[in-house]
Amino acid sequence: MGGQRSVSDAGGVNEPRILIVGLGLIGGSLAAGLKASGYKGKIAACDRDPAEIEQGVALGVIDEGGTELAALVPGSSLIVLAVPVLAMEPVMAELAPLIEDQVVTDVGSTKLAIHQAAERVFGRLPPRFVLGHPIAGSEKSGVAASNPSLYRRHKVILTPQSDTDPEAVARVRALWQACGAQVLEMDVARHDQVLARTSHLPHLLAFSLVDTLARQDERLDIFRYAAGGFRDFTRIAGSDPVMWRDIFTANREAVLEALDDFEVGVARLRQAVTDGDGDAMLGIFDRASHARHYFDTLLNQTRYQAMEQRNVRYRVSPGGSVLGTIRVPGDKSISHRSIMLGALSEGVTQVQGFLEGEDSLATLQAFREMGVVIEGPHQGRVTIHGVGMHGLKKPAGPLYVGNAGTAMRLFAGLLAGQAFDTELTGDASLTKRPMGRVADPLRQMGAVIETAEGGRPPLKIKGGQALMGIDYDMPMASAQVKSCLLLAGMYAQGETRVREPAPTRDHTERMLNGFGYPVNREGAVAMLQGGGRLTAAPIDVPSDISSATFFLVAAAITPGADLTLEHVGINPTRVGVINILKAMGADLELSDEREVGGEPVANVRVRYAPLKGIEIPVDQVPLAIDEFPALFIAAANANGVTRLRGAEELRVKESDRLQSMADGLAILGVENKLYEDGIDIVGSGSDGPSYGGGHIDSHGDHRIAMAFTIAGLRASGNIVIDDCANVATSFPGFVDLARRVGLTLEEVSA
């Protein structure tokens, strides 16, 4: 009977017999993938073409099959409908009197039409019918094209309803996961809208283009001399015409809506070509080129829609040397601000040293979506064609800022003054971080902002509000809050004054002055008048001291080390790490100190010297807030106890960094005691290994991952660090640089 399930296998699928209805490429590849996963149950197939069944058995793709459902449904515990979309309803009608308690799922690329067909057949969507869609395929067809790897590292979208049986969903999820797929869930209507744009529309255009050219007199020459780009774009026009006719018919409304949007875009480009408007063409091409690159990055490193990171694992072998001269990537904080102020300025801003990490690219892409023409980045060079303070345009949808808390908080300030509504969203990690600290004072200025529960993202910002300057005392030292309010203050009537309880980084004030917008300072208060303007200015982004910190600490703890880091930003509000390392006894020397674009830079040389535990001065905490994960590793290698207090801000970073570091240090055998606002770390102070190896969870926090990577230099065993994909958000090239200076580091996808 359908409910008798006792077969379990290596793939995690616990079904005695699976029935696949429709033995084409999709159904055949599912069967082949299950076989390859080690599935030990039986796979049967039903297809109206007996030759396909015969070939499927001969190829070993299925165990048995036939052309009649009535003979195959009994004894099958899970049924997969893999027929064309318009054939689903008659198949369901034939299936309805035969099923008992079997789980049923489908592979159709439109979900609303299949949902409605099920309602017509069954009266409602049965609780054990799980609608699904694998995002994979080929222009080939038939069981002979079956590919056991077709679904590996591809997405499968399930669209369960509120009353769908959770056990049925779990069984369908296990089916696809056994084939190596990533399984996601989505609303039915949203699925059809998304697929209309990302799959159905491209197929429609490919069919149309090839058909248009094929009907022209010179078609033979056109196809004879077609280049690779034409072949790449039109490959999907070789797909099954009947299947795609059914898809376009079933998903007609969503496809037409997507086609309408596309026609508007084509008309816009046609007008630019007609007018010879090079700037308009450049804007369109540049936006498209970099959107393609940016979204390709997302697709390679995140899950579809949910944006949850794949697991990258670091394995660090004990020991190593730290020698040479390196330059780490540009400062992330300054890179963010260079794009923001360059976009809002009048004229063209040239940026050098731009950090090409995911966070900075997210900021860059967001401004492209608001109509700003941006060329690059090309080897750290970016050209921004400013639109002025009021030249931004309403984006088509939410602005996605990835993992960048800095970007979200600064965006909140500048978008509060725009005439249009916007929504800010980010990845799974960012949606857990508090945004009330910027939303609340912005509301005092007159902004209208909605947040999710607990003051967390997404942020929905209503445009067209009359902002008023305020005098705000920050309850906690935060450069992001200060910068947010100063950016909003540019759009406010009157003066905005922000008082900080302790010094924080002042990149925003320096850069605003550099762009000709006066920011004044009276003691702990930064202030500006609303209604000014920004004028384009060149920017040379210094190397990020936060990124440099991992190598400063690596050299400081490794006997025999001698490392020089070039062009490091030494802004007085960011040098807490240098001050703390010197207080611990590090042999650290600055040279070639100079100022570039209003920001002080220098070369920093570090040689090994024994470190001692210290009580970290409270006034240095805000100056080194992002550098503490690495400094905790320095403390673990120092002689005596290092004490930190007044650092509760570490609890609300990409992870709870106090807890994450304390847990990781304990795993390595480093004695520590955690407090609400700090930690005590007992260092070993020896020249040999300072602690053991172990398996660390970085909790998706790039700084935790990099801190425990450098810890390997003084470990007695391997350190394995999970969830390291986010390192690319702040430090692209970290692994290569770490190996270059002498660490033994392996990066693997787990």
Pairing of strands 520-522, 525-529: antiparallel
- Residue at 683: amino acid letter: G
> Which two three-digit tokens encode residue 85?
């979309």
Establish whether 703 is an annotated binding residue. yes
Establish whether 657 is an annotated binding residue. yes
Establish whether 547 is an annotated binding residue. no
Cα–Cα distances (Å) from 601 to 331, 506, 583, 594, in that order, read 11, 15, 21, 6
Establish whether 397 is an annotated binding residue. no
Establish whether 626 is an annotated binding residue. yes
What is the CA 385 to chain-centroid distance, rounded?
26
Residues pairing with 324 in the sheet = 563
How many Cα neighbours within 13 Å face the side chain of 315?
6
Name the strands in the sheet holding 422-425, side by side, starting at the edge strand that comes first in the sequence. 399-400, 422-425, 456-462, 448-452
3-state secondary structure of 605: strand
Establish whether 2 is an annotated binding residue. no
Burial 307-319 (b: 16+ CB within 10 A, else e): bbbeebbbbbbbe
What is the CA 501 to chain-centroid distance, rounded?
34
Whether omega for the bond prior to residue 457 falls within 30 degrees of 0, making it cis, is no
What is the CA 110 to chain-centroid distance, rounded?
26
Q: Considering 47, 240, 246, 626, which one is annotated as catalytic?
A: 626
Establish whether 303 is an annotated binding residue. no
626 has catalytic annotation: yes
Pairing of strands 312-316, 745-749: antiparallel
Establish whether 582 is an annotated binding residue. no
> Which two three-digit tokens encode residue 553?
């600490």
How many Cα neighbours within 13 Å face the side chain of 387?
18
Establish whether 433 is an annotated binding residue. yes
Establish whether 653 is an annotated binding residue. yes
Establish whether 499 is an annotated binding residue. no
Nearest CA among 668, 646, 649 for reference residue 657: 649
3-state secondary structure 684-730: CCCCCCCECCEEEECCCCHHHHHHHHHHHHHECCCEEEECCCCHHHH
Catalytic residue positions? Answer: 626
Known binding-site residue numbers:
332-333, 337, 405, 433, 478, 480, 626, 653, 657, 703
Binding residues for phosphoenolpyruvate: 332, 405, 433, 480, 657, 703
